[in-house]
Amino acid sequence: MKPTRLKKTKETKRDQPTLKEVAAAAKVSEMTVSRVLRETGSVSKKTKAKVLAVVDDMGFVPNKVAGSLATSSSNLIAVIVPSLRNQVFTEVLSGVTDYLDTTGYKAVIGISDYKREKEEQLVRSMLSWRPSGLIVSNLTHSDRTRKIMANANIPVVEMMETTEDPVDFCVGLDHIKAGALMARHFIDQGYRRIGYVGCNDRDRTAAKRFKGFAAALRKDGLKVEGTLEYDQPVSMELGKKGIAALLSDYPHLDAVYFPNDIAAIGGLFHCLEAGISIPSSVAIGGFSGLKIGQLMPVPLTTVRVGRFEVGQRSARIIVDRLNGKHPNHVNIVDIKLIKGGTT
């Protein structure tokens, strides 16, 4: 399992050339090669050309492991997301890499699988490579994870949610408010008998939205009349099955809220297939503002979040901090209700 070091014998394929070998071949010192490669200090045009020729000829790829050790620094930013199967996170990641591409930094991606223990292990393992910054996608970590992150002595951004007490920085949206927005919209559109199909998706943000949703209804003297919760990650399939079961248990419902667009689309598909007219018989509301929701035969009413922007902003905060600036510690991104045809 553990990789074995390849011996430098004539029998094995040769290892990558080193700076030293390049220097020898170019008949200069290692330092000169190093300077040429990093475009630091000053080197005469002539020797520079000579060195570059040798580098190219030998196919030399500098060893950043050694470089990083020597400088105690790296151009890596560690980014941890719960999953790549949820489009929300892939878009956030795109935002991160998009911004980092404009700088010299590179993202190193880790997947926590929505599990705190895996997150902890991942944080450890990524920090052991001494990245220059760390971005994580949630607020709820194990105590040890929080401690490790706080001690890492690098900028840390917690994305997607907001809190007044981030480990270092946070960039996110107010999920309570997102839920309330949809509740308000349902009410304004005249819906009164409202249900919820929840997918306990382990990341707690859905729970926050539902909390805000229910609270907003309560404020108007309404309540969530029927709920159905699955103890599984979100999916279109569950949305589809869920709304069927919910409407069978509570046939009088005139609106159903979902924890996200994917589940809501599942719900929408069920209605289309079952001949339930949308929105006259049942209204549907989601969360995220995914493009696919807007491409449905009936565009989905949802709350849009700038996912790409969250990623970009998080990356920018890290880079700014590394450049000695002092970004705000708490950053809230806007959200907006998008009225489609499902309400």
Q: Which chain residues interact with DNA by CB under 7 A?
A: 5, 15, 18-20, 28-32, 34-35, 37-38, 40-44, 46-48, 62-63, 66-67, 69-72
Instruction: Choose between 47 and 294: whose C-beta lies nearer to a second copy.
Output: 294
Listing DSSP states for 169-192 in one string gives EEEEE-HHHHHHHHHHHHHHTT--
Phi/psi zone of residue 285: left (φ > 0), alpha (ψ -120 to 50 degrees), beta? beta
53 binds, among a second copy, DNA, none (CB under 5 to 8 A by kind): none
Instruction: Choose between 40 and 281: whose C-beta lies nearer to DNA.
Output: 40
First to last CA, the chain: 56
Question: Site for a second copy (CB under 8 A): how many residues?
Answer: 67
Question: Rounded to the nearest whole angstrom, what is the least distance from the CB of residue 153 to DNA in the complex?
Answer: 12
Cβ contacts of 7-16, under 8 Å, gap ≥ 24: 16/60, 16/61, 16/63
Instruction: Choose between 133 and 179: whose C-beta lies nearer to a second copy.
Output: 133
Instruction: Choose between 111 and 224: whose C-beta lies nearer to a second copy.
Output: 111
With CB under 8 A as the contact rule, the residue among 53, 84, 330, 332 that binds a second copy is 84
Question: Rounded to the nearest whole angstrom, what is the least distance from the CB of residue 68 to DNA in the complex?
Answer: 8
35 binds, among DNA, a second copy, none (CB under 5 to 8 A by kind): DNA
Question: Rounded to the nearest whole angstrom, what is the least distance from the CB of residue 21 to a second copy in the complex?
Answer: 14
Q: What is the footprint of a second copy within residues 130-169 (CB under 8 A)?
A: 130, 132, 147-148, 151-153
Burial 41-55 (b: 16+ CB within 10 A, else e): eebeeebbebbeebb
Q: How do beta strands 169-173 and 133-136 pair?
A: unpaired
Q: Residue 249's CB: how many other CB atoms inside 10 A?
A: 12
Query: What tokens does 288 get?
Result: 């995220």
Distance in angstroms (rounded) separating the CA atoms of residues 138 and 112: 11
Q: What is the footprint of a second copy within residues 183-242 (CB under 8 A)?
A: 236-237, 240
